[in-house]
Amino acid sequence: MNHEGPLLFALGASRAFGAAVAEKLGADRSAHEERALEDGEHKIRPLASVRGRDVFVIHSLYSDAGETVNDKLCRLWFFLGGLRDASAGRITAVIPYYGYGRTDKKDQPRVPITARLVADLFKVVPELTAKLKALKEAD
pLDDT value at 126 more than 70: no
Distance CA 48, CA 73 (A): 22
Nearest residue to 89 (alpha-carbon basis) of 37, 52, 44 = 52
pLDDT value at 24 more than 60: yes
**What CATH class has 7-138?**
alpha beta
pLDDT tens track for 29-88: 999 999 888 998 889 999 999 999 999 999 999 999 888 999 999 999 999 989 988 999
pLDDT of residue 132: 63
pLDDT of residue 105: 74
**Looking at residues 88-105, what average pLDDT do you find?**
84
pTM over cut 0.85:
no
pLDDT of residue 66: 85
Label residue 22 left, alpha or beta by phi (over 0 means left) and psi (-120 to 50 means alpha). alpha
3-state helix, strand, coil in the chain (%, to 5): 40, 20, 40
Cβ atoms of residues 51 and 87 within 8 Å: yes
Q: Where are the domains of the chain?
A: 7-138
